[in-house]
Amino acid sequence: MKNSQLILKYGCNPHQKSAKIFTNNNSLPFKVLNGAPGYINFMDAFNSWQLVKELKQITRLPAAVSFKHVSPTGAAVGLPLSDSLKKAYFVENIDLSPVATAYVRARGGDRVSSFGDWAAISDIVDLPTAKILSSSVSDGVIAPGYTDEALNILRKKKKGNYCIIEMDWTYEPDTIEKRDIFGITFEQKRNDVLTNEDLLINVVTDNKLIPENAKIDLLISMVTLKYTQSNSVCFALDGQVIGVGAGQQSRIHCTRLAASKADTWFLRQHPTILNLPFKDGIPKFYKDNLIDQFLSADITPMEMKDWDSILNYIPNRLTKEDKAEWLSNLKEVSLGSDGYFPFIDNIHRAVKSGVKYIVQPGGSLRDDMVIQACNQYNIAMAFSGLRLFHH
């Protein structure tokens, strides 16, 4: 390894050899403290690092993200957890620092998708955060530093192969960025705009009231979208992402996907789910998968037989009516979209999952229709004037 480059085992796939990362500057702005991160690991690491650094800068709170395949599965700041969320995230008997809470929230937004994630932490990784990471199925972590206790724990993970990267907080890349596709070089100004509350000033609906907690959620959604493969829509509540619809060709499919994830997140807090009779010693990822199946409408009796090895007994599943009644309590949700809403179907779907506040760029030929739909639901919607496509 030279100071300015790092040779990798292979690229995106094992047959893509001759892989490396390098910089034209004097040295790389990070240190690999443990493990051997691969090509995709580094892509996740640097995208996720930008996200948490920006969240920290705009909220001044510890921030964390759970990243998979170059998009976030969840992002959050370190606000306190409710008792139901502690139980849903399997941390009810753990003392959490604000930094650890941020990661617990980030991973809790979509626990199934976070399986085998890359974690990014905005602050020094402390002992509670390291314990959470150590007990999670995760490929690696990037942070500005680690306490000695935290580093000792993480170095034992994955038989000593857990990837740990220390990032230079002060590092800023060049203004111009380049990439090659099919031998052709693309060049553009880096998307270095810093999202802030000024982007929420232009509220175009009759309802102009966006409380401070919703502003934080809207900013979290915008920063998350900035580093999510487009098209994308993000639902946020209580300082964390609760659903991301990423990489869809249609805006309505982004909204449906994000909304369904938000619904699942909220249903995980239903008393029936919180009190599922798991057998002792069942790993958390088995619990996550079973909960996902338990909430699924299309699970077959054959698949249900597998639950005997995980549950002490199989309780009655939630009916369609049970779910609808519980989801009627999901309220005050914030939604961000990386591009404008071309049709009102997005609003109709979003409101079914508790959306009350929206930020989007605006600029559609049908903006008036979208505004009218929001007015019908008393939604407060801001036009940011800022598209956040990421490819």
Same domain, 304 and 160: no
Please check whether residues 45 and 149 belong to one and the same domain. Answer: yes
When pLDDT is averaged across residues 289-297 and rounded to a whole number, the result is 92
Note the pLDDT of residue 302: 75
DSSP state at residue 146: B
Mean pLDDT of 94-111: 96
What's the confidence (pLDDT) of residue 381? 98
- Asked if 19 and 11 count as a contact pair (C-beta separation under 8 A), the reply is yes
Q: How far apart are CA 219 and CA 63, in angstroms?
A: 13
To 5 degrees, how large is the angle CA 64–CA 65–CA 67? 155
Catalytic residues: 68-69, 231, 391
Same domain as 364, residue 335? yes
Q: Which two tokens stand for residue 60?
A: 């001044």
- Number of domains the chain is built from: 3
pLDDT for 163 beyond 60: yes
On whether residue 184 sits in a domain, the answer given is no
245/288 same-domain check: no
User: Based on the domain organization, do 23 and 149 belong to the same domain?
Assistant: yes
What's the CA gap between 74 and 96, in Å, rounded?
18
Which range of residues forms the domain containing residue 143? 5-167
Q: Residue 112 pLDDT more than 90?
A: yes
pLDDT at residue 53 is higher than 80: yes
Q: How much of the chain, in percent, has pLDDT values that exceed 90?
A: 92
Domain C-terminal end among 103, 132, 167: 167
Percent of the chain with pLDDT over 70: 99
| 234 and 91 part of one domain | no
Give yes or no: residues 112 and 141 share one domain.
Answer: yes
- Shared domain for 208 and 252, answered yes or no, is yes
pLDDT band of residue 1 (cuts 50, 70, 90) is very low
Buried b (16+ CB within 10 A) or exposed e, 87-101: bbbbbeeeebbbbbb
The pLDDT of residue 18 is 87
Q: Are residues 110 and 226 in the same domain?
A: no
pTM: 0.95
- Domain-embedded: residue 136: yes
Nearest 5°: the CA angle 167, 169, 175 is 100
Whether 242 has a pLDDT exceeding 90, the answer reads yes
Distance CA 56, CA 139 (A): 23
Nearest residue to 216 via CA among 60, 100, 86, 389: 60
CA–CA dist 282, 311 (Å, integer): 9
Mean of pLDDT over the chain: 95
pLDDT in tens, 311-355: 999 999 999 999 999 999 999 999 999 999 999 999 999 999 999
> Do 95 and 158 share a domain, yes or no?
yes
**3-state DSSP assignment of residue 75:** strand
pLDDT at 305: 83
Q: What is the mean pLDDT of residues 105-117?
A: 95
| Model confidence at 196: pLDDT above 50 | yes
The answer as to whether 188 is a domain residue is no
What pLDDT score does 301 carry? 78
Contact 73, 114 (CB under 8 A): yes
Residue 179 domain-assigned? no
Residue 221 CA to residue 224 CA, distance in Å, equals 5
Give SS3 for 363: coil
Q: Are residues 255 and 141 in the same domain?
A: no
Nearest residue to 208 via CA among 362, 356, 341? 356
Question: Is 345 in contact with 205 (CB distance < 8 Å)?
Answer: no
pLDDT exceeds 70 at position 264: yes
Q: What is the pLDDT of residues 243-252, one digit of tens each?
A: 999 999 999 9
**DSSP conformational letter for 145:** -
- The answer on 73 and 22 residing in a single domain is yes
Q: 79 in a domain, yes or no?
A: yes
Q: What is the mean pLDDT of residues 37-50?
A: 96
Inside any domain, residue 175: no
CATH number of the domain to which 56 belongs: 3.40.140.20
Least confident piece of the model among 20-34, 35-49, 215-229, 375-389:
20-34
* pLDDT value at residue 3: 75
Across the chain, the runs of DSSP E, i.e. the strands, are 5-8, 19-22, 30-34, 63-68, 71-77, 117-121, 138-143, 163-167, 176-181, 184-189, 232-237, 240-246, 333-337, 355-360, 380-383
Residue 2 in this model has a pLDDT that exceeds 70: no
Is 390 contained in some domain? no
Question: What amino acid occupies position 293?
Answer: Q
User: In this structure, how many other beta carbons lie within 10 angstroms of the beta carbon of residue 142?
Assistant: 26
pLDDT at 304 over 90: no
Contacts of 368 (CB under 8 A, 6+ apart): none
Residue 172 lies inside a defined structural domain of this protein: no
